[in-house]
Amino acid sequence: MDVPTLTAYLNGRYAPLGALQVSVLDRGFLFGDGVYEMIPVYARQPFRLAEHLRRLDRSLAAIALANPHSDAEWTNIVAQLVAAQPFDDQSIYLQVTRGPAYPRSHAFPATVTPTVFAFADPLTPPAREAVEQGVTAVSIPDIRWGRCDVKAISLLANVLAKQAAVAAGAAETVMFRDGWLTEGAASNLFVVKDGVITTPAPSTRMLTGITYDVMIELARAHGLPLQIRDVSEVEVRNADELWLTSSSKEILAIVALDGNPVGNGVPGPIYLTMYTHYQEAAQARRNTP
């Protein structure tokens, strides 16, 4: 495996990504005992960093793991990583695990030092074709655990869901639980019907994305009809528009679900409006010194 020689961070040390190593006894490796964040960076300016750090703190609290850094320390780590990369638009990955411990035991170890890891990838915007023509999706039942609001590194169920999309030649998998929309394998979802934007309310059944919050703010700021409530599977399958949102994909229209067209089978007018508003917000971040 070829590992890029990009600067990464591990427990206070900055070094090439391929030179960093974690103990095989790390509880993140053995149990998936940890959480993570993904932060988009535009023109070397982190987008919604404070919100991402708040969500990281909530996830850590949910698994009873003390945050190893203050917001100022996290901000410094991110800033140094951003400065060390040769590209301007980046995706910063932060991960905190409970750390290495022996003997292997499900219960929390009495004494342990968390493992803190971070690295940057180039942030590549969605292809113009995907923006202009939309993407396709498949659906599956949502059989994940009951705390999907925790951004945990134990993502096997999401991996399998995403692979279902790949196997079908689709971009995303839409998940339903007991007849209700939850989220995508790696995204939040928005439905449009008769000009009204609807999205599921935050709950333990989904991970509320930072881009999800941005979409809600933009819809309200521009006076677009918006409802935040439970969304039925029937509503999704009869939607005029369906979008996915995430930090890496930004906002994309889903134009077919399980082989059936969504609305007219092309990105709809409200999606195009919201896409423009998001790009304006990102551009404003690029112009912020």
Yes or no: say if 36 and 96 are a contact pair by the CB < 8 Å rule.
yes
Yes or no: say if 3 and 18 are a contact pair by the CB < 8 Å rule.
yes
Distance from C-alpha of 77 to C-alpha of 87, rounded to nearest angstrom:
17
* Active site (annotated) includes residue 151: yes
Cα distances (angstroms) measured from residue 278 to each of 89, 154, 167, 184? 16, 30, 30, 20
Yes or no: say if 96 and 116 are a contact pair by the CB < 8 Å rule.
yes
Yes or no: say if 11 and 36 are a contact pair by the CB < 8 Å rule.
no
Q: Which amino acid is residue 204, in one-letter code? A: T
For the residues of 125-160, what is the DSSP string, one character each?
PPPHHHHHH-EEEEEEE----S-TTS-BS--HHHHH
Distance from C-alpha of 152 to C-alpha of 36, rounded to nearest angstrom:
6
Across-strand partners of 197? Answer: 192, 226
Which residues fall within 8 angstroms of residue 78, CB to CB, at 6 or more apart? 39, 46, 49, 92, 94, 118
Which residues fall within 8 angstroms of residue 183, CB to CB, at 6 or more apart? 148, 175, 189, 200, 205, 206, 207
Chain centre distance of CA 116: 19
Annotated catalytic sites, by residue?
151
